[in-house]
Amino acid sequence: MKVRTAAAIFAARSVRFGLRILGKGATTLPGKVALYMDSELLSHLAEGKKIIVITGTNGKTTTTHMIGDTLADRGYAVVSNVSGANLATGVATSMLEGLPIEKKAKRENRQVVYVLEVDEAAFGKINGKLTPKVQVVTNLFRDQLDRYGEILTTRDFITNGLKGAKGKILLNSDDSMVASLGKEREGNAVFFGMNSSSMESITVTKGEKKKVTEGNSDASFCIFCQSKYEYRARSFGHLGEYCCPSCGFSRPDPSFSFSFSPSWTDPQTGKKISPSEEDYPVLLEYNTTGFLHGELKDTDCSAQRQIREVRTTVPGLHNFYNLMCAAAACTLFGEEVGDEGLDFSHICEGLQSARPAFGRMEKIVIGDKKLCLLLVKNPIGLERALSILSEVSDAGSAYFLLNSNIADGKDISWIWDVNFEDRHYPKALFVSGERYGDMLLRLVYAGVKKENIQYSPIEDSASLMEKALETCQPGECLYILPNYTSMLYLRGIMEKKYNLKAFWK
Amino acid sequence: MQRELRLCHMYPDLLNLYGDRGNILALQRRAQWRDITVSIAAVSLNDTFDSDSYDLIFLGGGQDVEQNILRNDFVNVKGSAVKEAVEKEKIFLCICGGYQMMGEYYQEHDGNRISCLGALQIWTMGEKERLIGDTAYQSTLWEGEKGRLFGFENHSGRTFLKEGVKPLAKVLKGAGNNGMDGTEGAIYKNVFCTYSHGSFLPKNPQMTDYLLEKAMKKRYGEEYILPELDCETENIARKTCPSFM
């Protein structure tokens, strides 16, 4: 090992040790120090390692957790970066933390895998250095526009990161901006998405008149020729079965697809179970023939099409994408490293052990009630959270928190891109965060009566949370929808109050 | 008595970045609370634009790519109808990209000039550095606290007003049109333009009401007076915004 790298590692270890003594989580500082000392640190550390990289707008953390939990279940020692530490410094810190883990794993005859969540802009700079076995792009949605300016800029970062990529590139077939990254990478691009029939069954057909005050689509126009896409079916946001009538670019057939299980209908009542309920049954399929569409046929060779039912603890349509993505990433990883124990079947089993990530549908039991944290960082995330809020059967009240710090994006205009109108809300609503005024205004303009909303500045957000919990009946759940830094703030309070595991442990 | 206003949302599928549809929601809501229904009609690529069918016209902001897609349609196909509407004193609200496109041209930093509609005598110069941040402006329409406009700007274009076009406001915090001459936005006849997101109207209800009253007077006669409506919730949002003063 180069002297520079060794010195950098030593420095990082000292920093980490010092921080731990001070009782602080060491999520990025050790990496920062090491990168300063050795600018090629990541390339040096990544050599010969088994790495999976996950990027995209939403679902990175959830997918990273699912992959990590699944591989751990299959016997791997998993090194992952903590939520929020997904820039070069956080990735470097994780790689450094992996060094002692590798030593230990060697003694125990276990393999080590690095499952790393990487921010989109950072992906552009560092993916090439990490040379992962599998790189994943979950989706692309508008997010923190004041940081990047335009969604296509974000896509360009990702394109940069994929230059010369070896290993498999796992892409969301239903997202035209992501699927298009597969062009000219046909050799190693693999797709995951929603089964066509299932998508058709949930597509809402609108009347002749276009409803223009609905939430916005980020990708209405063909990325190659700018003609307007036609959709045969839609999932959510701009995800769906798109086709460009002009140049013919259309949704590729995903090798990995998820569909609604027949058991999603309650046999006693005949009612469909909402995809937002816990323990939701999802069918995951791995089709190696690559040419068949979604329906089950008697003549199918089971070796080419494998279908497994998984009961997910992280419900919601967007999380089914994350689930499928994680299963696909683990399967492809197994193929890349030649681990036969990582076959699709065993992976689907392992997925059942996946727990929600910090703040992503994290459910916490408080006495005879529950709290559920639904982190919302951008319009589509908030749309999905509002859908879940409308669909679940146990919502006692809802609590919105909005901050506008740098990590959140200083521009809160994005809340107006979200369809708050025509939703089913619990009777009592609560609002806090530094920008509570804007969130209050948004709700009132969406038709919620001001008298049904209690609000407070962030300093009083903890006592407001208690009030919110009090309005819930036993068995009900308080759904909390914070954005990034307001979630960190609230969770800090909750950790002390309810003795929760600190997020960096 | 139930009355109505007809709003035209131009290119909603292309100019839809930065939450600008909040402006439409604001108009609808503050109208609804006064028993006025605001109906929305979408007019996009290849649709005919008949300004007589509308009382208010809205153009939002968008990415460069999307603006390029609609440029030909806006300038060459709908162009004369839009210019006529402007001269006929139809009420327009234009944000960011929509604002720029109403002008004469957009000049990229390599000198290349892109022709825009030319309905307003303004022009824009694109620079690499974006002007981003919370803003506070003093509107030219009112004095004092009532005239304060709060929002968020995010643009690489620097817009300059020629004679005949007044600014919408004076800059108190932020860059405004170009970060140089202290002006923000533009007013020409009944066309109101701004770079402000936030969205613009929700936190500036005096502006929402101003546009509603203008539209109502044009539609139902000059004697019409918009009923008073409190701005309690809007004021809470104003006070908690970072650029509040």
Using one digit for the tens of pLDDT, what is the confidence trace for A304-348?
A: 889 999 988 787 889 999 999 999 999 999 999 999 999 999 999
Chain A residues within an 8 Å CB radius of B152? 146, 410-413
pLDDT for position A495? 83
3-state secondary structure of A374: strand
* Nearby residues of A338 by Cβ (< 8 Å), 6 or more positions away: none
pLDDT-wise least confident of A90-99, A259-268, A319-328, A419-428: A259-268
d(CA B111, CA B109): 5
Calculate how close chain B gets to A442, using CA atoms only, in Å: 8
* Amino acid at residue number A112: V
Q: How many residues does chain B have?
A: 245
The mean pLDDT of A273-291, rounded to a whole number, is 78
pLDDT for position A178? 97
* Residue in A with minimal Cα distance to B154: A146
Q: Is A221 on the interface with B (CB under 8 A)?
A: yes
Chain A residues within an 8 Å CB radius of B69? 221, 226
pLDDT for position A505? 40
For residue A472, is it left (φ>0), alpha (ψ between -120 and 50) or beta? beta
* Consecutive 10-residue averages of pLDDT for chain B (245 residues): 93 84 96 96 94 96 81 94 97 96 92 93 94 96 96 95 96 97 98 96 98 97 96 97 94
CB spacing of A220 vs B202 below 8 angstroms:
no
A91-129, pLDDT tens digit by residue?
Answer: 999 999 899 999 999 999 999 999 999 999 999 999 999
Chain A residues within an 8 Å CB radius of B132? 146, 410-411
What is the pLDDT confidence band of residue A1, given thresholds at 50, 70 and 90? low
pLDDT for position A203? 75
CB spacing of A416 vs B199 below 8 angstroms:
yes
Question: Over 50: is that where the pLDDT of A390 sits?
Answer: yes
CB spacing of B19 vs A438 below 8 angstroms:
no
pLDDT for position A361? 81
pLDDT for position A264? 65
* Amino acid at residue number A421: E
pLDDT for position B32? 96
pLDDT-wise least confident of A290-299, A356-365, B163-172: A290-299
Closest CA to B169 of B146, B151, B145, B149: B149
B122-139 and B169-173 beta bridge pairing: antiparallel
d(CA A218, CA A411): 18
Helices vs strands, H then E, count in chain A: 16, 17
A119-167, pLDDT tens digit by residue?
Answer: 999 999 999 999 999 999 999 987 766 554 578 889 999 999 999 999 9
pTM, to two decimals: 0.85
Q: Is B154 on the interface with A (CB under 8 A)?
A: yes
pLDDT-wise least confident of A231-245, A349-363, B131-145: A349-363
A369-374 and A360-366 beta bridge pairing: antiparallel
- Please give the interface size between A and B, counted as residue pairs whose CB atoms are below 8 Å apart: 120
Chain B residues within an 8 Å CB radius of A206? none
Q: Is A345 on the interface with B (CB under 8 A)?
A: no
- Element holding B159 (H helix, E strand): strand B148-161
In this structure, how many other beta carbons lie within 10 angstroms of the beta carbon of residue A500?
14
pLDDT for position A263? 63
What is the pLDDT confidence band of residue A18, given thresholds at 50, 70 and 90? confident
pLDDT for position A119? 94
Calculate how close chain B gets to A16, using CA atoms only, in Å: 35
Beta strands in A358-423, from DSSP E residues, in sequence order: 360-366, 369-374, 395-401
d(CA A424, CA A421): 9
d(CA A170, CA B90): 51
Question: Over 80: is that where the pLDDT of A464 sits?
Answer: yes
Q: How many residues does chain A have?
A: 505
pLDDT for position A26? 61
d(CA A403, CA A459): 12
pLDDT for position A149? 53
Supply A267's token pair. Answer: 């046999």
The mean pLDDT of A78-84, rounded to a whole number, is 85
The mean pLDDT of A74-90, rounded to a whole number, is 89
* Nearby residues of A93 by Cβ (< 8 Å), 6 or more positions away: A12, A16, A26, A27, A28, A29, A30, A31, A32, A34, A81, A85
Calculate how close chain B gets to A379, using CA atoms only, in Å: 9
What average pLDDT is seen over chain A? 87
Calculate how close chain B gets to A425, using CA atoms only, in Å: 19
